[in-house]
A and B are shown apart, each in its own frame.
Chain A
Amino acid sequence: MSKPYYDAADLRKFGKITEWSEELGTKFFDYYAKVFEEGALTAREKSLIALAVAHTEQCPYCIDAYTKDTLQRGITKEQMMEAIHVGAAIKSGATLVHGVQMMNKVNKLDG
């Protein structure tokens, strides 16, 4: 069987990206850490947003990381699934809203 592209254990190596570009990597991780600090939004709210975005971005590493993070924060599976539905609704809405552009174009070309 061929090796899959994604290996869950690679998530542990994420920090190593700084080895090939220390300045940019460090700036990214500093920014990342700052973003997830408690602010106008709670760390818990940010974790749920991250979980939803992880799904719309279809990033398996992010899904693993934020599933664990939300569990650690005591968030229930029902809350997690609702967050994913929010992401899914926006994703499908974003697809469908472009239907208006298609309709505009049809109307222009085909009256």
Chain B
Amino acid sequence: MATKSLKKLGNDLAQSNKQIEILSNGIFKSGELPTFKDKISETSQFPIKAKKLEILQINVGYMCNQVCDHCHVDAGPDRKEIMTRDTMRQCLEVIKNSGAHTLDLTGGAPEMNPDFRWFVEEAAKVGIKDFIVRSNLTIIRANKKYYDLPEFFKKHNVHVVSSMPHWTRGKTDKQRGDGVFDKSIKALQELNAVGYGMPGSDLKLDLVYNPSGAFLPGDQVAMEKDFKKALMDDFGIEFHNLFAITNLPIARFLDYLIASENYEDYMYSLVEAYNPAAVENVMCTNTLSISWDGYLFDCDFNQMLELPVNSKSRHISEFNEELLEGRNIVISQHCYGCTAGAGSSCQGVVA
């Protein structure tokens, strides 16, 4: 179980260029596996073009109270990158003036940004249709200053999307750290207690499942059924939907794949499961990812690999929706992760 980020440990893989080098060479350079660009070219899907902007995903900081084994952000308590209120103001201007109908706050633990509540309150005023906060759940139990988060979320009708690796203690704690399961269960019960996740409730509570190791997620519908039954039977917990997400081979998950000698097999699995139908709906086509320091990326993964948008509009301070629409999406081999099987996005399957 990790206790520090790759960055803090001085691991080579904390550098995005090292990750891209590994992803681009080896089995891909030798032609053993087709590059993602070649693969999508077979079905004339290259280049992938950005459609109309619908979702703004804002990473308000890499600081987190957890150090999960597979974190693609390499987040943790030792990460100090935090979005300032000035950058948040610039984001708010974009929210007011763009066609985006969904706001998706992520991190790290977004709640740890000192201006998190201010931002939620301000953003809630501008008529966003779906206001998502990606919560790791344990933050709600981490410190008494966070204990009222369920009430705060309810007050602003925040859509809570929470990570939950498995319905068993063992698998969850293995991926996320000892005690995470019990704290997550308690947090879910507290969210249920204020009305989140209940059948027919407008207070949306969705869970995110990602595999605990070097394998792809199973069928989302079947997994949701299993999660619902187990969480209800064991703890009386209700939630709305389960999103099954594929682990992308970057940052700590890439480190794990290499250290466990699973990298090649995993990439084979992704390529073998490639589904051209998923390419049509990958999240990067209608989403913009904004980093803690205001730069624009096609997705959260490209943000971590420091692959900026292919546009003259590269920072929130110079946001230009017209320039961004129709841009060519920046791709690399990690994109196989979003197009394997039924596809993967922050909202689960896409095909």
Across-interface contacts of B223 in A (CB, < 8 A): 73-74
Enumerate B166-188 residues with CB–CB distance to A below 8 Å.
Answer: 166-168, 170-171
Contact string against B for A residues 36-78, beta-carbon threshold 8 Å, 1 for contact and 0 otherwise: 0000001110000000000000000000000010011110100
B308 within 8 A of A: no
Q: Are B226 and A74 in contact (CB under 8 A)?
A: yes
B326 on the A face (CB < 8 A): no
CB distance from A10 to the nearest CB of B (A): 12
Beta-carbon contact of A73 and B171 below 8 Å: no
Given A42-B222, A43-B222, A44-B222, are A74 and B166 also a contact pair (CB < 8 Å)?
Answer: yes
Q: A68 with B218: in contact, given A74-B223, A74-B226, A76-B168 (CB under 8 Å)?
A: no
Q: What A residues does B168 contact at CB under 8 A? A: 76
Q: Which residues of B lie under 8 Å from residue A8 when comparing CB positions?
A: 265
How near does chain A come to B246, taking the closest CB pair, in angstroms?
Answer: 11
A12 CB–B CB distance under 8 Å: yes
| Chain B neighbourhood of A42, CB < 8 A | 222
CA distance A44 to B209 in the complex (A): 17
Distance to closest chain A CB from B258 (angstroms): 17
Residues B219 and A76 in contact, CB atoms below 8 Å apart? no
User: When the two chains form the complex, which single residue of B170, B218, B265, B269 contacts A73, counting CB atoms closer than 8 Å?
Assistant: B218
Q: Contact at A76–B222, with CB atoms within 8 Å? A: no
CA distance in complex: A8, B213 (Å):
18
**Distance (Å) between the CB of B221 and the closest chain A CB?**
10
Report chain A residues within 8 Å CB of B265.
8
Q: Is B211 an interface residue (CB 8 A)?
A: yes
Instruction: Find A72's partner among B167, B171, B215 (CB 8 Å cutoff).
Output: B215
Measured between C-beta atoms, what is the minimum distance from B27 to chain A in Å?
A: 11
Q: Which residues of A contact B216 (CB under 8 A)?
A: 72
| A76 touches which of B171, B215, B268, B272 (Cβ 8 Å) | B171
Q: Which residue of B lies closest to A72 (CB)?
A: B218
- A-B contact number at CB 8 A: 31
Which of A43, A72, A74 has the largest count of B CB atoms less than 10 A from its CB?
A74
| Residue in contact with B218 in the complex, picked from A12, A74, A76, CB distance below 8 Å | A74
- Residues of chain B within 8 A of A68, CB atoms compared: 215, 269
Contact B219 A71 (CB under 8 A): no
A12 to B264, CA, bound (A): 12
**Distance, CA A42 to CA B226, complexed state (A):** 12
User: Would you list which residues of chain B between 300 and 343 have a CB under 8 Å from chain A?
Assistant: none
Nearest A residue to B166, CB-CB: A74
B217 proximal to A (CB < 8 A): yes
Interface residues of B in 152-173 (CB under 8 A from A): 166-168, 170-171
Is there an interface contact between A71 and B213, defined as CB atoms closer than 8 Å? yes
- B215 near A71: Cβ-Cβ < 8 Å: yes
Determine the distance from Cα of A76 to Cα of B227 in the docked complex, in whole angstroms.
Answer: 13
A72 to chain B, nearest CB (A): 4
A32, chain B: closest CB distance, angstroms = 16
Contact with B along A69-105 (1 / 0, CB 8 A): 0011110100000000000000000000000000000
| Interface residue ranges of B230-273 to A (CB < 8 Å) | 265, 268-269, 272
Which positions 257-306 of chain B face chain A at CB distance < 8 Å?
Answer: 265, 268-269, 272
A interface residue numbers (CB < 8 A to B): 8, 12, 42-44, 68, 71-74, 76
Given contacts A44-B222, A73-B218, 20 further A-B contacts (CB under 8 A): A8-B265, A12-B268, A12-B272, A42-B222, A43-B219, A43-B222, A68-B269, A72-B211, A72-B215, A72-B217, A72-B218, A73-B219, A73-B222, A73-B223, A74-B166, A74-B209, A74-B218, A74-B223, A74-B226, A76-B171
Top 8 nearest A-B pairs by Cβ distance?
Answer: A73-B218, A72-B218, A71-B215, A72-B215, A68-B215, A74-B223, A74-B226, A72-B216
21 contacts between A and B (CB under 8 A): A8-B265, A12-B268, A42-B222, A43-B219, A43-B222, A44-B222, A68-B215, A68-B269, A71-B211, A71-B213, A71-B215, A72-B216, A72-B218, A73-B218, A73-B219, A73-B222, A74-B166, A74-B167, A74-B209, A74-B218, A76-B168
